[in-house]
Chains A and B, each alone.
Chain A
Amino acid sequence: MVAAQNGHGGAYRRLLAEMSDWLVRYFQRRLPPGEVDDAVQETLLAVHRRRHTYDPQSPLGPWLAAIAKRKWIDQLRSLGRRPTEELPEDLSIADHEASIVSASVLASLLEELRPAQAQAILLVKVQGYSIEEASSQSGLSASAIKMNIHRGLSRLTAFIEKTYDVE
């Protein structure tokens, strides 16, 4: 990174390639598969824009992990704002590993929420049900489902921001 700060393109390319591999693994465990590439590229851009903030006397890992965590939170926020689309019935999935790891992390995070909030997020944001379907499944009104999703995602974001360890 010090060489990169001094303008050595080759060293920087190797560093970004290593960072990219690490970031792919990092985000695969925390985000839905379709969001991983976006998050990796956003983080690489942030690393590039803010490379002057790296202190050569400190280890690189925590610096990168802190930026990645911020981008994870941003990605979660944008996920919460985006409208949910219903998945087609015949959608095939080639590889389940990343989804399984992601689901296990998500399950442990959802334990931090109230049951109604966790259920609403699980039904609409993870399983892809519409608000109306989630409403009929859970017995709550559509507005209560929306409110639970909104509050649940906000609480989840606040919880992630407070946790100290990143990787």
Chain B
Amino acid sequence: MSNEALIQSLSADLVPVRPRRMLREAGLVLGLGATELALFLGFGMMRPDMGEMVGSTYLLWRLGSLAILAAIICTVAIRSYSPTARPRRGLRLAGALAAAAMIGGIFVAPADVGDHTLLERLRPLHGILCAASIFVLSLPILAILGVLMRSGAPTHPRLSALASGAAAGSWGAFVFAFCCPFNDPLYVVVWYSVGCAAVAAAARWRLPRRFNL
């Protein structure tokens, strides 16, 4: 088929389209995330001592840093679905913020954590369960971001997929942070990072395969 014939056929069956709006997509993700959080808390999943913990520096660090990270990476992911966007810089910024948040954990550690061994602090069995819970909780946001990515036109699909996974993972970690009973920042940093990294790796592996510009 010649270029002219292709142009004729494409313009012959042209139908109006609604231009993509990033704010609309962000609203959709935010709405789904809020619904998930409301359902999660509505089913009584919040940790029992949340009332005592509210206002503590530790909880502020844990929820605040995860919420900020989720918001920033989600913005990077949604922006990256546009052909002209370059997600590399946004991902670097998110990585730097994540590192800063992890370092910040040193300053909010409760006084008694130094009395335990490394293995006692990490609690591998609980940690794996935490990471798995984060993975499951991230799936709704990952699904909606996957749909938005497919309907968009990312020109760096692997980085877009990575950003989508990291955004979904950090949201899953944020939701899970409301029920996680462990207060050791080392535990949070290690196992929450494992959970987020697993979601990001799965998205990076799976999403570009289902995408064709």
- Which residues of A are at the interface with B, using a C-beta cutoff of 8 A? 4-10, 12-13, 16-17, 20, 24, 37, 40-41, 44-46, 48-56, 58, 62-63, 66-67, 69-71, 74, 161, 164
Say yes or no: A51 contacts B17, CB within 8 Å: yes
CB-nearest residue of chain B relative to A53?
Answer: B153
Central interface residue in A4, A52, A56, by most chain B CB within 10 Å: A52
| Chain A contacts for B117, CB-based, 8 A | none
Say yes or no: B8 contacts A13, CB within 8 Å: yes
Asked if B11 is at the interface (CB within 8 A of a chain A CB), the reply is: yes
Q: How far is the CA of A51 from the CA of B81 in the complex (A)?
A: 13
- Which residues of B are at the interface with A, using a C-beta cutoff of 8 A? 1, 3-4, 6-8, 10-12, 14-20, 81-84, 86, 151-153, 155-156, 213
Central interface residue in A37, A48, A62, A71, by most chain B CB within 10 Å: A48
Among B10, B82, B86, point to the contact of A53 (Cβ < 8 A). B82
| Chain A contacts for B15, CB-based, 8 A | 7
By Cβ-Cβ distance, the 9 closest A-B pairs, closest first, are A7-B16, A50-B153, A13-B11, A66-B83, A52-B17, A70-B155, A53-B153, A16-B7, A12-B11
| Chain A contacts for B18, CB-based, 8 A | 52
Say yes or no: A63 contacts B83, CB within 8 Å: yes
Central interface residue in A9, A17, A66, by most chain B CB within 10 Å: A66
| Chain A contacts for B151, CB-based, 8 A | 52
Q: Report whether over half of chain A's contact residues are helix, strand or loop; otherwise say mixed.
A: helix
CB-nearest residue of chain A relative to B88?
Answer: A162
Say yes or no: A55 contacts B19, CB within 8 Å: yes
| Chain A contacts for B153, CB-based, 8 A | 46, 50, 53, 67
CB-nearest residue of chain B relative to A19?
Answer: B7
CB distance from A140 to the nearest CB of B (A): 31
| Chain B contacts for A6, CB-based, 8 A | 16
| Chain A contacts for B7, CB-based, 8 A | 13, 16-17, 20, 44
Q: How far is the CA of A63 from the CA of B155 in the complex (A)?
A: 10
Among A5, A24, A37, A46, point to the contact of B17 (Cβ < 8 A). A5
Among A5, A20, A56, A67, point to the contact of B213 (Cβ < 8 A). A67
CB distance from B81 to the nearest CB of A (A): 7
Say yes or no: A9 contacts B19, CB within 8 Å: no
Say yes or no: B155 contacts A37, CB within 8 Å: no
28 contacts between A and B (CB under 8 A): A5-B17, A5-B19, A7-B14, A7-B15, A10-B11, A12-B10, A12-B11, A12-B14, A13-B8, A16-B11, A17-B7, A20-B3, A24-B3, A44-B3, A44-B6, A50-B213, A52-B18, A52-B19, A52-B20, A53-B20, A53-B82, A58-B84, A63-B84, A66-B84, A67-B83, A70-B83, A70-B155, A74-B213
Say yes or no: B155 contacts A67, CB within 8 Å: yes
Say yes or no: A53 contacts B16, CB within 8 Å: no
| Chain B contacts for A17, CB-based, 8 A | 4, 7
Say yes or no: B10 contacts A5, CB within 8 Å: no
Q: How far is the CA of A49 from the CA of B213 in the complex (A)?
A: 8
CB distance from A2 to the nearest CB of B (A): 8
Say yes or no: B3 contacts A53, CB within 8 Å: no
Q: How far is the CA of A41 from the CA of B3 in the complex (A)?
A: 6
Given contacts A5-B17, A53-B82, A53-B83, contact A41 B6 (CB under 8 A): yes
CB-nearest residue of chain A relative to B156?
Answer: A161
Q: How far is the CA of A4 from the CA of B152 in the complex (A)?
A: 18
Among B4, B8, B83, point to the contact of A50 (Cβ < 8 A). B83
Say yes or no: A53 contacts B14, CB within 8 Å: no
